Amino acid sequence: MQTARAKLCGVKPYQEVKLSLRDEKISIDGKLYRMEEVSFDIPISGTVYGTLLNYRKAYKQLEPAMSQAPYHAPPNAPILYIKPRNTFSSYGAAILLPEGITELEIGSALGVVIGKTATNVKETEAFSYIEGYTIVNDVSIPHTNVYRPAIKEKSRDGFCPIGPWVIRKEAVANPNALRICVKINGEVKQENNTCNLLRPIEKLLADVTEFMTLAKGDVLLVGIPEDPPLAKVNDLVQIEIEHIGKLENKLTSKAAWEGGTT
Amino acid sequence: MKYARVAYQGLLHEAIVTDNGVKLQDGRVVGEEEVIWLPPVVPNTIFTLGLNYADHAKELSFSAVQKEPLIFFKGPNTLIGHKGKTVRPDDVTFMHYECELVVVIGKQAKQVKREDAYHYVKGYTIANDYAIRDYLENYYRPNLRVKNRDSCTPIGPWLIDKEDMKDPMNLTLRTYVNGKITQEGTTSDMLLSIPELIEYLSEFMTLYPNDIILTGTPKGSVNTVVGDEVVTEIEGIGRLVNTVVSEEVFQK
């Protein structure tokens, strides 16, 4: 059993839980539950920073354009973006399809949860600044141009499901070699591995904290693998990351989700 | 009213600034020099406008007419209060200030029309949105290495109620470096006005109380060096004072 930190709905403090990832059981206060018996809330509280082009093939795909306008040169430092608070949502929450949009890009990201204030971190000490790992679905409206911040494409309400929990770093022997799998309606749509990161986690943490401080509770997404799968209305999206767990959300139309009467 | 967050004798206070001094939450009135000024709001999401003044857009050799406004986010690591110190990395050649009017959201806002937008505003403050242009890269530009640095967004000194502001779209902004005026403009030159910005943003995402919008800067951004005192001033709000310091002073 692995130890994780979860935020359960209706309980204010974070809870330490034990997990059996293989048979998808969670142990809370010594009692065993199935996933569907537990209501998970968002397990983190800080700022979520995403990293652009940190999978080798994702970088390679843009590389021919990097010498041309509007980019003119390949990037030097890590290129980050912020997923603002209105995007945060939990395991099981609906992802709302904005009106006029038929498909959303599923960004399967390993989230590195920061455990203590991290400034000018050395690669060799990087793991001492990490509390653990979570799964983040960095949802976007499909777009190819990355010259300007993609606020409209990446910052819609509910576009950042996070969870179901934060696995303690001790439970993950090598976070730079984790299989990632995205299933849509049970069918495998993407497979990748964090061994394909351009900047492995310790290097990314060092290069990012060279120019900005990450605070306890912040989450640094290591990147989105190339060719993110597309999902449409009523699709069940599952992101599985080896040794971390499975994040599951369903795409819903705004009208169906809102319900109610006016 | 002018609302501030200050530290005084080991305690954080929600204070009100008056002509007589800083009135602490327990009723004591102390001098402006006696307190440590903190950012006047603890924001949720920090929105920042780039190129929202025509003259500044020209200055940055930005010629094409934009289809969409240029908006980016900042993290909480960037903010420091009035009279704070901002670090200039040792190896850079061009670090400039940007005097900006800040809109503080007071009420949850979703799909708000411009004619109703001011109902969702709590008040206003000043930010100095420093940029380090040496680090500019053409990916999600302006990239976070330029705009999301610790201490590089002084904000304050206080939040002024919207009721105390006659017309936020007609305010003079000025920046002084070591007492000499280096930037002057007016909020009437904004490309997207405050009501238009609130309409635009709330159309595709929900704004929440204490979200803040930095509305961009007019032309006149010049290089600042270690030791400079930079004052960003907005008519009807006040003067935000900041000092540029070296890495050695800041970190060691």
List, for residues B145-190, the tens digit of each pLDDT value.
999 999 999 999 999 999 999 999 999 999 999 999 999 999 999 9
**B139, B199, B207: which to substitute to probe chain A, counting the most A Cβ within 10 Å?**
B139
Q: Do B73 and A157 count as a contact with CB atoms less than 8 A apart?
A: no
Tell me the chain B residues in contact with residue A87 when contact means C-beta distances shorter than 8 Å: 205
Helices (H), B83-193: 144-147
Helix (H, G, I), strand (E, B) or coil at A2: strand
Write the pLDDT tens digit of every residue in A202-237.
999 999 999 999 999 999 999 999 999 999 999 999
Residue B135 in contact with residue A211, Cβ under 8 Å?
yes
In terms of Cα–Cα distance, which of B91, B99, B75, B130 is closest to B246?
B91
* Contact yes or no for B99/B174 (Cβ under 8 A): yes
ipTM: 0.94
- Are the beta carbons of B140 and A213 separated by less than 8 Å? no
The partner residue sitting opposite B140, judged by closest CB among A72, A149, A214, is A149
| Tokens coding B45 | 């999401």
User: Could you tell me the CA-to-CA distances from B152 to B74, B108, B155, B216, B242 in Å, in that order?
Assistant: 10, 28, 10, 15, 10
N-term to C-term CA, chain B: 39
Cα atoms in the 13 Å half-sphere on the side-chain side of A44: 37
Domains of chain B, CATH where assigned = 1-38 (2.30.30.370), 39-250 (3.90.850.10)
Q: How far is B170 from chain A (nearest CA, A)?
A: 28
A75 vs B: CB within 8 A:
yes
**Predicted pLDDT at A53:** 97
Identify the closest residue of chain A to B47 by CA–CA distance.
A84
* Inter-residue contact A19 to A140 (CB < 8 Å): no
Check if the beta carbon of residue B216 is closer than 8 Å to that of residue B100.
yes
For B15-24, give one letter per residue: b (16+ CB within 10 A) or e: bbbeeebbbb
CB contact under 8 A, A75 and B137: yes
Query: How far apart, in whole angstroms, are the C-alpha atoms of residue B229 and residue B83?
Result: 9
Task: Look at B77 and A215 and tell me if their CB atoms are within 8 Å.
Answer: yes
| B68 has pLDDT over 90 | no
Is a pLDDT exceeding 90 seen at residue B74? yes
Give the bridge partners for B12, in sequence order: B7
Residues 6+ apart with CB under 8 A from B198: B103, B105, B109, B112, B114, B117, B120, B121, B207, B213
pLDDT of A260: 73
- Per-residue pLDDT band at B60 (split at 50, 70, 90): low
Rounded to a whole number of angstroms, the distance from the CA of B23 to the nearest CA of chain A is 32
pLDDT of residue B202: 98
B188 touches chain A (CB under 8 A): no
d(CA B195, CA B113) in angstroms, rounded, equals 8
For B143, nearest residue in chain A (alpha carbons): A79
Does the distance separating the beta carbons of A80 and B143 come in below 8 Å?
yes
Q: Which of A79, A114, A143 to mutate to test the interface with B (most CBs of B within 10 A)?
A: A79
- Determine, for residues A47 and B76 on separate chains, whether the beta-carbon distance falls below 8 Å: yes
Question: In this structure, are residues A79 and B136 in contact, taking their beta carbons and an 8 Å threshold?
Answer: no
Alpha helices in chain B (DSSP H): 54-59, 144-147, 194-204, 247-251
**pLDDT > 70? residue B213:** yes
Beta partners for residue A81, in sequence order? A50
**Residue B55's pLDDT band (cuts 50, 70, 90):** confident
Distance, in Å, from the CA atom of A47 to the CA atom of A81, rounded to the nearest integer, reads 10
Q: What is the pLDDT of residue B249?
A: 82
Write out pLDDT tens, residues B93-144. 999 999 999 999 999 999 999 999 999 999 999 999 999 999 999 999 999 9
Please write the tens of the pLDDT for every residue from B5-17. 999 999 999 999 9
pLDDT given for residue B58 in this prediction: 63
Average pLDDT, chain B: 94
Whether A156 sits inside 8 A of B148 (CB atoms) is no
Do the bridges between strand B172-177 and strand B180-186 make them parallel or antiparallel, or are there none, so unpaired?
antiparallel
With beta carbons less than 8 A apart as the criterion, state whether B123 and B162 touch: yes
Which residue in A72, A114, A157, A211 has the most chain B C-beta atoms within 10 A of its own C-beta, making it the best mutation to test that interface? A211
Interface check for B205 against chain A (CB to CB < 8 A): the answer is yes
How far apart (Å, rounded) are the C-alpha atoms in residues A17 and A43?
Answer: 12
Under the banding of pLDDT at 50, 70 and 90, the label for residue B234 is very high
- What is the distance between the alpha carbons of residues B1 and B122, in angstroms, rounded to a whole number? 11
Beta-carbon-side half-sphere exposure of residue A128 (alpha carbons within 13 Å)? 7
From residue A1, alpha-carbon distances to A7, A42, A168, A240, B139 in Å are 18, 22, 12, 18, 42
**Percent of chain B beyond pLDDT 90?**
91
Q: Please check whether residue B107 is in contact with residue B120, taking contact to mean a CB–CB distance below 8 angstroms.
A: yes
- Look at B149 and A84 and tell me if their CB atoms are within 8 Å: no
SS3 A69: coil
Give me the pLDDT at residue B145, please: 95
Band of residue B39 on the pLDDT scale cut at 50, 70, 90: very high
Å between A188 CA and nearest CA of chain B: 30
- Tokens (6 digits) for A189: 């749509």
Give the span between the Cα atoms of A126 and A71, in whole angstroms. 31
In order along its 262 residues, chain A shows pLDDT tens digits of 889 999 999 999 999 999 999 889 999 999 999 999 999 999 999 999 999 999 999 999 999 999 999 999 999 999 999 999 999 999 999 999 999 999 999 999 999 999 999 999 999 999 999 999 999 999 999 998 999 999 999 999 999 999 999 999 999 999 999 999 999 999 999 999 999 999 999 999 999 999 999 999 999 999 999 999 999 999 999 999 999 999 999 999 877 777 776 6
Nearest to A82 among B75, B149, B204 (CB): B75
- Smallest Cα–Cα separation from B125: which of B251, B1, B252? B1
Say whether the peptide bond before residue A164 is cis (omega within 30 degrees of 0). Answer: yes
Give the Cα separation of B207 and A125 in Å (integer): 38
